Amino acid sequence: MPESATPVAFPPAFLWGAATSAYQIEGAVREDGRTPSIWDTFSHTPGRTASGETGDIAVDHYHRYREDVALMAELGLSAYRFSISWSRVQPTGRGPAVQRGLDFYRRLVDELLAHGIRPAITLYHWDLPQELEDAGGWPERDVAFRFAEYARIVGEALGDRVEQWITLNEPWCSAFLGYGSGVHAPGRTDAAASLRAAHHLNLAHGLGASALRSVMPARNSVAVSLNSSVVRTVSQDPADLAAGRKIDDLANGVFHGPMLHGVYPETLLVATASVTDWSQVRDGDLAIINQPLDALGLNYYTPALVSAAGEARASGPRADGHGASPYSPWPGADDVAFHQMPGERTEMGWSIDPSGLHDLLMRYSREAPGLPLYVTENGAAYDDKPDPDGRVHDPERIAYLHGHLSAVRRALDDGAEVRGYYLWSLMDNFEWAYGYEKRFGAVYVDYATLARTPKSSAHWYGRAARTGTLPPATA
């Protein structure tokens, strides 16, 4: 049967959104009282980012937000997920808010609501105020309490108009890429510190969720966004299955264990015993972390393929998709080898496998029955270029989106409570250590002029958002 004869339809209330983060798009890093975050420091350190590029200007969303919101409305988006810059609101990570910083987010929220777009706020997308890092950063327990104070400030300011809240985005990256492999800010390489950071991020989530609920209307939703991995093994050999379990614990169980179930997996504690004694977990911490969630955000890009390590299996760089570093982001897992998945890849080198998104949604339907799920990030980087007429045609991204949204529809059919999908990203932007090399946006940004041009995928996605059905992948 032709593809167009059986349109893939979504529930009427399904949210069609796009996502961004503050440091990647805002720019204006020295305006209105903002002070440096760890990403300012990291990106200005020679050798840390591609071509030494920084987010100083990014795509200047701070000054162009009205244009960007109008573009979202033109495309037909029903929701927009963005993050707050902690050091713009609370520059030292302590004390009272800077109202000029909060005012930017007040204006942004008002603009979104005026265009009928539902705002979804992420409180932390990796940009810790530098002063808190100077005091020890996430490996220090105090930062979790500073985060709760910050959450209360933002919740008080915006909780009357914003109903969807996310405490942390991808705490795995903050802990293990920031403090383990060092490929993300702050660029530290200490396995034990990365596990302490993971626990304190969990604690920050629990304290932050409580702080938000103490100052916001009960109708508001509090969630977290996890980049949970779909971990596959090269064989069913017991050694490979043990390797898969170890990586699953480090990628997933270290966060969803305490957040959803109030416990760290015993297998995780055993596997990392040579790295840490877990004394960072104090009495009462797990109860604080195990706050009831109103929803769960899941970010998905590509599966992981692992085996037990061996000379024949572990040659060349670690193929985990998380950047090049002699230091591993997988503490206690030196006996695990990562492998490249077969098939097509994006510009990030990540394999394209929509079945992984279906598997992820079904897994969390079992982990937390009845909990509403959102795909809070999904997308692909391609080497997009304008044609001679200035149009940007990206059929690969359309095919990627069609495949992954079809996987979401299959998960709905199989009983998953999926409420919405946020495309990563609304527009091309500063892609962390990759600088401006990798383009994830549905909207093309000319970095010389900062002009925005919707790609063909943006128009395709807009049609899906307006109709609630997927256009053909060839559209």
Residue 170 annotated as catalytic: yes
Asked if residue 400 lies in contact with residue 380, where contact means CB atoms within 8 angstroms, the answer is yes
Active-site option among 26, 53, 170, 431? 170
Judge contact between 46 and 470, C-beta under 8 A.
Answer: no
| Among 53, 111, 377, 431, the one annotated catalytic | 377
* Residues in the chain, total: 475
The answer to whether 445 and 59 are in contact (CB under 8 A) is yes
Cα separation of 366 and 368, whole Å? 6
31 is annotated as an active-site residue: no
Active site residues: 170, 377
